[in-house]
Chain A
Amino acid sequence: MTAPLLAVERMTIGRPGAPPVVADMSFRIGAGERLALVGESGSGKTMSALAVIGLLPAGFRVTGGAIRFDGVAVDTAAPAMRARRGKDVAIVFQDPMTSLNPVMRIGAQIVEAIEAHDPGIDRAAARRRAIELLDAVRIAKAAERVDAYPHEFSGGMRQRVTIAIALANRPRLLIADEPTTALDVTTQTQILALMDELCRAHGTGLLLITHDLGLAQSCCDRICVLYGGRVMETGPIARVLARPDHPYTAALLRSVPPGDRDVEWLEPIAGEPPRIQADGRRCRFAGRCAHRFERCLSHDPVPVATGPDAMAACHLLQPSAGRGP
């Protein structure tokens, strides 16, 4: 069996002296596979992605577990490894208004990314490549627009440019952190379709980070549902969304307003997501779960297999756990 492109194994992220923000996080992405990391604020989805690309905020470290790329463990702090990953792994952030340099022409920003990993390339070739990339992300009249500034573009077009920059060095894994949250609904669909198409065409793996289950469904093969810094459930996306095994996934799906039919009332989840990971000896979702029993408050559930390539961490699914009287 070949090693997956990316394997995150029991990763813990934290600051010295503080409870971890991510604990025991495991997920993997095969070559060309598309995985959605779905969660609310505080779920650890962005921290996990930043750890993978070596961009954790100051003070935060991977304190346990491993991140493997092609089966080789990567040291998240080593600069050499970071440079390599800049070529193999690229990231697109939420807000194209802030991730582009406002005083630099679009083309120059793409050329900068190309030269960072291919220092020998000559100027004219880099520029030609920049135009090709703009064309690939469907910017009309790419040869003219390569000299435009970011403010001359709409939000959707700016996000196309950041995708062009991310794909400049033909990465094997593209991380997209809420890539469409700042965009309009109709533009969102186009940007997702574009990422989807480009990843398929080049066999690029996609790690999509989002809070939106519908968005995840529209362009991913597998889903990993996070809550309070833990994996609640993971599996093929169609199956997880159609037949969720974890009470959190099920409750979340029930709470979303259906767009295709009328309902009198929604079914909310009581309470709010935890802001601080305090107690390691209980299920993170126990406080809001309608199915809670004693064990949920005294033991953190371990993930159990729930189907082919699917797992969920819930005491209800433990074969040995008695529900108690």
Chain B
Amino acid sequence: MSPPDAPPLELSQLSLRYPGSGRDATPVVRAVSLRCDAGRTLGLVGESGSGKTTLARAIFGMVPAASGTVRVFGREWTDLDAAARKRMRRRVQMVFQDPYASLNPMMTIGEAIAEPLVVHGLGDRAARAARVGELLGLVGLPADYASRYPAQLSGGQRQRVAIARALSPGPELLVCDEPVSALDVSVQAQILNLLKSLQQRLGLAMLFISHDLAVIRFIAHAIAVIQEGRIVEQGPRAQVLDAPRHPYTRALFAAGLTRSIGAAAAGAARIPDDPGLGRTT
């Protein structure tokens, strides 16, 4: 049983190393503490290589902690037996970046959405079919899409299917890793609105990972900024956005603002040189 007041997600002093990199390797995530509450969206913003995706994998127990803890609804994956782990998996689901890679091309849309229900033994065939129809409606797709294949769908439609599939077992925590960055600009707003409305309607706790501060501003209640595996700043949205304290957060803002439409275009030439010059990745 989960402790009744436990938050859906709590990371305490979590450090992670790439699997197989050895005990002495530099951690890719260092002493990260984060908390995601029911009915709230935590935006995690950072650049490539900052450790965001490794962190997301650790939430599902796919990367063991080098030190510190990952608690999902108050429990650590390592403390759960196989049956309890499976029950927990129902409550935590993920939406990936690339809707072309995350759906099995041989499965119909209906089969893809029903698969988590089959895995978790939820409902009989008729109940599952009804649930698929309901989920398609929830993500704004016609019910007859259940018999189509991913290849027949556009990128935005596939991402809607991936969201329906993630929601099908009735999760309480949804982790979204760059869910719109592979989509066309004119389609991104549809998916962002959809995720925000689903989060509100279903009272989900959501961890939303993105490199785009404008997207995070739209969707998140609280923001954590990650740089080279460390959280350099976190707090309520307004606090982080209106009074960023860390130089890196300010640099991210400056880079984002030069690119926001209508803002003075003058800043572009005034950015200092590559701080990553010494980096040898």
Contact = CB atoms under 8 A, between A and B. Distances in A.
A154 B188 CA distance: 29
Interface in A232-270: 238, 241-242, 251-253, 255-260, 262-263, 265-270
B143 interface: no
A272 B262 contact: no
Interface in B194-219: 196, 211-215, 217-218
Interface residues of A, number: 55
Nearest to A196: B269
Given A138-B273, A241-B262, A255 B257 contact: no
Given A157-B277, A265-B193, A259 B214 contact: yes
Nearest to A265: B193
Given A185-B212, A189-B271, A265-B193, A260 B257 contact: yes
B268 A184 contact: no
A192 B270 CA distance: 11
B268 A154 contact: no
Contacts of B276: 154, 156-157, 187
B262 A156 contact: no
A258 B273 contact: no
B189 A267 contact: yes
A41 B258 CA distance: 24
Chain B interface, >50% SS class: helix
Contact of A256 (B154, B214, B257, B263): B214
Most buried by B among A139, A184, A211, A263: A184
Interface in B46-85: 47-49
Nearest to A288: B186
A272 B186 CA distance: 7
Contact of A242 (B189, B213, B252, B262): B262
Nearest to A254: B189
B260 interface: yes
Contacts of A155: 48, 281
A213 interface: yes
B21 interface: no
B186 A257 contact: no
A272 B184 contact: yes
Interface of B: 47-49, 154-157, 184-190, 192-193, 196, 211-215, 217-218, 237, 251-252, 254-263, 265, 267-277, 279-281
Given A252-B186, A258-B214, A267-B189, 4 more contacts: A160-B274, A196-B269, A241-B262, A265-B196
